[in-house]
Structure 1
C-alpha cells in the first residue's frame, strides 16, 4: 500500500508545534520559531556563503522548442510530429534545422543519449550555450512531479493506490503548486521555504533568509521562515509612513503606523502585525544596504526577469551588511502558455531568459562568488510534442537548466526521451512521463546548499522512493 510522506510530515510538524506552543504558554511567532531548532542543528552552514535562485517560467514552457533534436534522424521525427512534414526547413511549430547550427550542445564523447540524439538550444539562447561549453550550465532532462517511479503501464493502470500519480495533472495551478512544494495544491510550504527553515539560524538576520523578487509563491513558504518581498527597486515601503505624512498629516501617519502594528493577542492578528512591523522597520535597512552595494554588470532594460535578477545580485552583494550566510531567492517570467502563437513569441521569451540568466551569472563572477550561487529553472509542466496547429498543449515532464560555478556542466543529466508520440516514455501526444522526479532535483540542490541526507525527507517528501537523491549535477559540499 502507498503511504505518503507529506501527511506524516505535516502531522509531525503539527504535533511538534502544538507541544511547544503549549509549553510556551502563548501562541507567538517566537514560540513557533522554536520548532526549527532541532532541524537547524543538522544543517551545514560552513564553507562560506551559498544561495539558490529559482527561476520559475509560468505557463508551462515548451521544452520541445527549448532543447531541440539536431541530428538528422531525430530532427526528422521532430519536424514530422510538429507539423513540418519531416522537412529540415521546419514548418508548423518546428524550427528550421539550419537555425540550430550555432546552438548545438556537444556533450562529452563518453556520454551517449537515447537514440544517439544530439540537442541544440533554441537559437535565441547563445549565451547559455556558451555557459554549457564552459562547463557552468547543465540541462536536466525530462524532470517533473512524481510520487513514485512510474512506467507507462502503471500510469495507465486504474490502481492509483499502488501506482499513485500527482493530483490534477496538466492543470496550471495544481502543477505550479506541486512543482514548488512536492505536495498537492493547498500545501502551506514549498521546498525553498523548507530549506529556509533549516538555514535561517545560520543567518544574523533570519528574516532575509528567503527573498522573493516576484509575486507570492508557495515555493518560498516555510513552516517558520517566511519570505521577505522586494521589487526590482528594492524593499517596498509604505508611502504613508516612509514619507512621514499621510494626507499631509503627521497625525494620520502615526495612526496608520499604530493600526499596522497593533494586535489584541490573536495568533493570526499578531503575526500580521509582526509582518507589518518587520516591513516598516527593515525596509529602510534593506534599501540602505542596497545603496551601498555595487554591481557593475549590465542587466539591460526592458527585461522583467533581468530586472528581478539584478536586485537579487545587489542583495547578494550586500550579504555582509545584511548578515547572511545562506539564502534562497525566487524570480519568475510569465507568458509561456503557448496554445497558439508559439513560433516567434516563444523564441523571444527564451531570449529574455538567456540574457537574464547569463547576466546574473556574470554578476556572480564580478562578485567573486560564482561557485557559491546556483540558479535553476522550473515551470508548471512541459508541453505536448504534437502540435495543435499553432502551438502545443499542457504536458508533464520537461527539460530544465542549472547554472553556476558549482555546476558540473557541459553534459546532460537524466534520461533523454524518445522523439515520439507513441513511446513508453510519454503518455499521449508526446506528453513526457518524467524519468527524474522534482524530489531528486530538489534533493540534489538541497545537499549542495547544506541540507544533511537525514533531513532530505523534510525538503523532498517522496525522496525515499527514488534511487538518486543526488543526481550529480552539483559539486559535492566540502
Structure 2
C-alpha cells in the first residue's frame, strides 16, 4: 500500500539510489535482457574534431594548399588506401583498420549545418534539425523507450563521466544514469545491506529489495576489481581509457544495460592545434584499441560496437593562430569485431566547398539508422523522426 508517510519514510534510501549500482545486479532487475544482447558504446569527441587532419586526403594537392602549418607530411602519413591516411597519432586505430575492426565514414553531417557547439550537438543528440524539437530527449533515449518494460529498474543507458547526462540517452520513459568512476561502487561495497522487510507496504518492499541487491552487486564489483589482472588489459594511462575500462568491467558483470556513453573533451582547437590534436588522437586511438582488446579477452567482442563522433568538423583553411575554426562535416568511426570494416562513404571534395567548408556526403542519421536496426534491433523511425536509408555498417 502506497501512502505519503510511507513514501517519505523511504527518503533516506531513495536518496542513495544515484550512487548505488543497481544496474549491475541481475537479481535487482525484472529485465528480460539476455546475456547475448548487443551493446553500443558511444564516444563523443567533444568540441569539433578536425577531420581533415584525422582522415587525411594526402593524394589531393589542395590539402597542402589549405594546411601550410598544420599539414601532416606525406611521408609520415599511415596510408589506408591510395588517397586517404591517418596521422601518426592514429597508429592504434590504423592497426584496428588493418585487422578489419574499424569503419571510417567521412563527410558525415546534415543539411544546413550549424557551427554552434550547442546547436550542432543538440542536432546530433536528438537527431532533429529544428530547435523546437530539441526537448532534452535524444535518439538513443527514444530507442530505449521502445524497449522499456514495466518494473525494470536496470538503467537503459549508463554515462561514464563527471558532467551532465547527455541528451542523446535521455528518453521519456527510459532510465539513464551517470557514473563518474569506480570509487562510487567501491564506497557502496563497504556498507552492509539492509534486511529485506516483511511488510505490506509495497513501496518499502520494492526500495529495500532494490537497495539490498544493489549493495550485493557493489560487493561483487569490488571482488572483481580485487581479482582482475594486474596489467588491467594493458590500458594506457588516459582518462578516456580509464572510463572505457570501467565500461568493460560493467559489461562483464552482465547487468543488462545495452547503451554506454562517454565523452572525450578538448577538440575545440582554435589555436596551436598541432600538438594538442596529436595528443587527443593518440588518447582516443590507443584507448579504443585497448578497450576492444579487453572485450576480446573477455569473450565479449562479438557483442559490442563502438561509435565515435564529433558535433562538427573544422574549417578547411587553417587560421592565423595555427589552429582551425568551426566547420561542418567530419568523420564518424564505428569499431568492433562485427563492423563492416573499410571506408564506407565518399570523402568530401576539397574543390567544391560551401562557404569554405566541406560538404557532407552522408547524413549522420543514416549511420544511426543502421546501428539501431541492424545492431540493436530497434525500429529507427520514431527515434530519428523519419525514415533514413541505413548505411551498411554491420558486417
Secondary structure at the residue paired with 2:249?
helix
Aligned to 2:47: 59
Distance 1:419 1:45 in 2: 46
Distance 2:209 2:41 in 1: 23
Aligned length: 340
Q: Please say if residues 212 and 228 of structure 1, whose CA atoms lie closer than 8 Å, have aligned partners that are also in contact.
A: yes
Q: Deviations over 1:167-203 (max 9, x none)?
A: xx1000111111111124532211121222234449x
- Structure 2 gaps of 5+ residues are 1-31, 193-202
Distance 1:234 1:145 in 2: 40
Shift of 1:125: 1.0
Q: Choose the corresponding residue for 1:471, options 361, 382, 391.
A: 391
Tell me if 1:208 matches 2:155.
Answer: yes
67 and 277 in structure 1: CA distance in 2 versus 1, 3 angstrom threshold: farther
Q: Deviations over 1:68-117 (max 9, x none)?
A: 1223xx1x2101111x2xxxxxxx111221211xx2113xxxxxxxxxx6
Q: Choose the corresponding residue for 2:66, options 74, 77, 81.
A: 81
Q: Please say if residues 207 and 228 of structure 1, whose CA atoms lie closer than 8 Å, have aligned partners that are also in contact.
A: no
Aligned to 2:100: 135
Shift of 1:236: 6.1
Shift of 1:134: 1.2
Q: Please say if residues 313 and 328 of structure 2, whose CA atoms lie closer than 8 Å, have aligned partners that are also in contact.
A: yes
Aligned to 1:155: none
142 and 134 in structure 1: CA distance in 2 versus 1, 3 angstrom threshold: same
Secondary structure at the residue paired with 2:380?
helix
Distance 2:281 2:384 in 1: 29
Aligned to 1:99: 76
Distance 2:332 2:54 in 1: 9
193 and 235 in structure 1: CA distance in 2 versus 1, 3 angstrom threshold: farther
Tell me if 1:298 matches 2:234.
Answer: yes
Secondary structure at the residue paired with 1:125?
helix
Q: Mapping of 1:214-233 within 5 angstroms?
A: 214=161, 215=163, 216-233=165-182
Q: Please say if residues 145 and 179 of structure 1, whose CA atoms lie closer than 8 Å, have aligned partners that are also in contact.
A: no
Tell me if 1:312 matches 2:239.
Answer: no
Tell me if 1:378 matches 2:309.
Answer: yes
Aligned to 1:441: 367
Aligned to 2:57: 69
Tell me if 1:400 matches 2:385.
Answer: no
Q: Please say if residues 55 and 376 of structure 1, whose CA atoms lie closer than 8 Å, have aligned partners that are also in contact.
A: yes
Q: Mapping of 1:235-314 within 5 angstroms?
A: 235=184, 284-293=215-224, 294=228, 296-301=232-237, 303-314=238-249
Tell me if 1:119 matches 2:79.
Answer: no
446 and 235 in structure 1: CA distance in 2 versus 1, 3 angstrom threshold: farther
Shift of 1:223: 1.4
Q: Choose the corresponding residue for 1:50, options 24, 35, 38.
A: 38
TM-score (norm 2): 0.79
Secondary structure at the residue paired with 1:359?
helix
Q: Deviations over 1:386-444 (max 9, x none)?
A: 111211111111112110011011x2112211123xx0xx3222x22222112111111
Aligned to 2:141: 193
Shift of 1:209: 2.1
Distance 1:391 1:172 in 2: 17
Q: Mapping of 1:448-459 within 5 angstroms?
A: 448-452=374-378, 455-459=379-383
TM-score (norm 1): 0.66
Q: Deviations over 1:191-235 (max 9, x none)?
A: 121222234449x95433211102221011011112121123154
Aligned to 1:170: 115
Distance 1:448 1:456 in 2: 10
Q: Please say if residues 185 and 221 of structure 2, whose CA atoms lie closer than 8 Å, have aligned partners that are also in contact.
A: no
Aligned to 1:11: none
Shift of 1:337: 0.2
Shift of 1:335: 0.6
Distance 1:278 1:392 in 2: 54
- Structure 1 gaps of 5+ residues are 1-43, 85-91, 107-116, 147-164, 245-269, 271-275
Distance 2:217 2:144 in 1: 19
Distance 1:81 1:68 in 2: 12
- CA RMSD in angstroms, aligned pairs only: 2.9
Q: Please say if residues 213 and 312 of structure 1, whose CA atoms lie closer than 8 Å, have aligned partners that are also in contact.
A: yes
